[in-house]
Amino acid sequence: MTTETKSPELLSLFQLGDLKLSNRVVLAPLTRARAGAERMPNDLMAEYYSQRSSAGLLITEATVISKQGIGWINSPGIYSKEQGEAWKKIVGAVHDKGSKIFLQLWHCGRASHSAFHGGEQAVAPSAIKLNGEYIHTPEGKKDYEIPRELETDEIPRIVEDYKQAASRAKEAGFDGVEIHSANGYLIDQFLQSKTNKRADRYGGSLENRFCFLQEIVNAATEVWPANRVGVRLSPNGNFNDMGSEDYRETFTYVASQLDKVGLAYLHVVDGLAFGFHELGEPMTLQDFRKVFSGSMMGNCGYTQETAEIAIKEKRADLIAFGRPYISNPDLVDRFRNDWPLAPDADMDVWFSFEKEGYTDFKFYT
């Protein structure tokens, strides 16, 4: 790092548990849909992650833990031994560049469709339909459907799926795992009162709604040390038809309980660029700092300048960048050298399923 950089905090070394990161820039998890119909990690994905390995930490795109968890075309999986083996080339490519990489664990819950499941309904904590325009499926655009409410005795099987996925991630050489509890997917659906109307021990009170995530964290920390497990939350988001009146109470409680675990980090989508439910004032990283004492990661809409300020003011320890990393694979070098950023990529090529809009963005010259 040169002394002339205008981001001395953002580009400084950071000790994340027992991992030494070369800077505080994180590649945010970005669903890029290049794993094919078999959901198999591949050489193209290895090239993509390798290109962006100047980040201190990379978090993979959301990766489904089971066939039941699928809800996105061509997203990768880690529910088979073959998939676990295939991830090794990606982990190796990142490690060869001197960076660290966590695998994000995912179950879509109601944000799915029967077209992904041979005609079987998607599952959710409660049978409440997602109010959205449409979902992309293998059969084209479809209307969202009413999901099937999970039986109480089915839930331990899903927790076990998370544990097995965490174990495969460890065998593949990942440095840790992130539990995707944000953006209206299954865990978030359990956490929020809008989507969880259950009458069993997984619904009703805050304590009960937190129970599913707590069991998953406990399962993951049977495989990994707690300081190699992160959790992602989106307290302000309306993506996938989310947003509950008691969001402040809910996410303050969740963060306070997670503080007891000794996690690697709490990853909070605090920015509003991904949508805001407008049910009150947005929750900030300062709100979470009051109840969570571990490493904090901010995300969504940050620029180099705002990221530097957030770290300097100790609101965040790490900042995850999403869209800027799509068209700027050398984002850290651009920050370090004050080089201009390439314009955001056209969304039409984000999910081309090929190298276009994925690995063909140029490094700065």
In angstroms, rounded to a whole number, what is the distance separating the alpha carbons of residues 96 and 107?
A: 30
Active site residue 265: no
Task: Look at phi and psi of residue 167 and say left if phi exceeds 0, alpha if psi is from -120 to 50, else beta.
Answer: alpha
User: In 10 A of CB 118, how many CB atoms?
Assistant: 7
Q: Which residue from 247, 258, 132, 152 is spatially nearest to 191, judged by alpha carbons? A: 247
| Residues 232 and 182 sit within 8 Å (Cβ to Cβ) | yes
- Among 48, 185, 202, 265, the one annotated catalytic: 185
Query: Amino acid identity, residue 197?
Result: K
Instruction: Tell me whether residue 262 is exposed, middle or buried, using C-beta atoms within 10 angstroms of its C-beta: 0 to 12, 13 to 18, 19 or more.
Output: middle
**Residues near 281 by Cβ (< 8 Å), separated by ≥ 6?**
none
User: φ, ψ for residue 226 (rounded to 5)?
Assistant: -55, -30
Q: Which residues are catalytic?
A: 185
